[in-house]
Homo-oligomer: A and B are copies of this chain.
């Protein structure tokens, strides 16, 4: 259902260039751009998953600024978008938080620019977004992407964007925008939360 869609951007665990697992840094622009996209597509919550306390402090500072009287007054629509953001430390916390809020665990959707077996096409995903009663969580990686340990926990492995093209290096900000537009598009849920 359109009123139970969640988005999470993982900064940990992420595969590094050398194949080792690492934490990527939060980019201020990620938080802003993805929050604005999520608000536009009526996403219920946008999670930033990062296990480093100092990284969480940075995001908290950004959120506190835009949530202050000055910030709200300066740009009310920015505050409205950033209200959707929630910081958690680990993937497990993310799943637990949604499960607690919804009373049922979400359908987990893995996204990646890399080709995988059994990828679900966008048309099918769109149908699921419209009909499915359970909450749906779209997972996005940073750095070189999410490791296979995350893929193995997922229910759906979504088709890559322009997988037949010769270049697959979209920013996570652009990938979130395109993915939500492909699966939600112009649909507007009336009376949704």
Interface residues of A (CB under 8 A from B): 27, 29, 32-33, 36-37, 39-42, 77-78, 80-81, 161-162, 164-165, 167-171, 173-174, 176-178, 181-182, 186, 188
Contact = CB atoms under 8 A, between A and B. Distances in A.
A169 to B, nearest CB: 4
How many copies of the chain does the oligomer comprise? 2
Contact of A174 (B80, B167, B174): B174
Contacts of A176: 174
B42 A169 contact: no
A41 B164 CA distance: 11
Given A161-B181, A164-B188, A174-B33, A77 B169 contact: yes
A71 to B, nearest CB: 15
Given A40-B168, A165-B188, 6 more contacts: A40-B167, A41-B162, A162-B186, A162-B188, A177-B177, A181-B181
B165 A40 contact: yes
